[in-house]
Amino acid sequence: MMDYQIKRSSRSLSLRLSINAQGKVVVSAPKFMPEFMIRKFVEAQKDWIESNLAKVQKNQVKIKTDELYIFDKKYQVVTNHNASRMGVLVQGEQILVNNLSKKTPTKIQQQIEDFLKKTATKYISTRTAILAKQMKIKYKRISLREQSSRWGSCSSHGNLNFNWRLVHYAPAIIDYVIIHELAHRKEMNHSKKFWEIVRAHDSEYLIHKGQLRKKRYN
């Protein structure tokens, strides 16, 4: 039987499948739906799950435990057990993780991820505001999350979502993703007109698009 995680919500009206960035199958279900019905639903979606799990594993950004990429620059991760205060900071070509309470490797990794999320949020929010002004495009809200197979998305209401893992990539590639999603504020499709908008603000978008697909941090 395939492993999966159940997320129940009173707002869910039906069963829905997704795969998170860690490659875990998540089932969103109504609050009181019996587990046997959820299990039957998952079994019926076996082919979809296996196909999409393969895509997620192929697209995952893999980071070594002793090194980290921020904006395409490599840093060595160093755990400091003798620091005077908690925190993660960049110093030269190192990422220093202050571990005052002798945290476990899992908690240290969470500390690093929190740092990366904050860095990504600050950078992407700032760049989106700048690029939107240049493109004369308005948007409503920005949110960052770790999406399983998308680097960004734009809702019909004007809300923008970005994958915080973009923080590992070069600024030019991040700009391409932002421009791509902002262009959807004018064209909610991938028509010729849409790509003309992207090209107008990123003349090398094809290169950046290819790098985003091919580049992996091993």
Please, what is the Cα angle at 15 between 13 and 17, to 5 degrees?
A: 135
Given the structure tokens 């999409």, which residue do they identify?
Answer: 52
Q: So what's the pLDDT on residue 58?
A: 58
> Global pTM?
0.68
Neighbours of 113 (CB within 10 A): 14
Q: Could you tell me the fold of the domain covering 67-214?
A: Zincin-like (3.30.2010)
- pLDDT for residue 19: 80
Question: How does pLDDT run across 73-122, given as a tens digit for each residue?
Answer: 999 888 766 555 667 878 788 888 876 555 566 777 888 889 999 999 99
pLDDT value, residue 159: 93
**Averaged pLDDT, 157-185:** 95
Q: Is the pLDDT of residue 62 over 50?
A: no
Q: What pLDDT score was predicted for residue 90?
A: 84
Can you say whether the dihedral through the CA atoms of 20, 22, 24, 28 is positive or negative?
negative
Averaged pLDDT of the chain: 84
Helix (H) or strand (E) holding 197: helix 192-201
Q: Give the burial string for 61-71 (b: 16+ CB within 10 Å, else e).
A: bebeeeebbbb
Q: How far apart are CA 215 and CA 208, in angstroms?
A: 10
Q: Which residues contact 35 (CB under 8 A, 6 or more apart)?
A: 6
Residue 5 has pLDDT above 90, yes or no: no
Q: Which pLDDT does position 214 carry in this prediction?
A: 76
Q: Is 19 exposed, middle or buried (CB count within 10 Å of its CB: 0-12, 13-18, 19+)?
A: buried
Domain definitions of the chain by residue range: 5-59, 67-214
Which of the pair, 79 or 182, is modelled with greater confidence?
182
How many Cβ atoms from other residues are within 10 Å of residue 87's Cβ?
Answer: 13
Mean pLDDT of 146-170: 89
Task: Map 11-67 to HEC letters.
Answer: CCCCCEEEECCCCCEEEEEECCCCHHHHHHHHHHCHHHHHHHHHHHHHHCCCCCCCE
Mean pLDDT, residues 134-163: 89
Portion of the chain with pLDDT greater than 70, in percent = 84
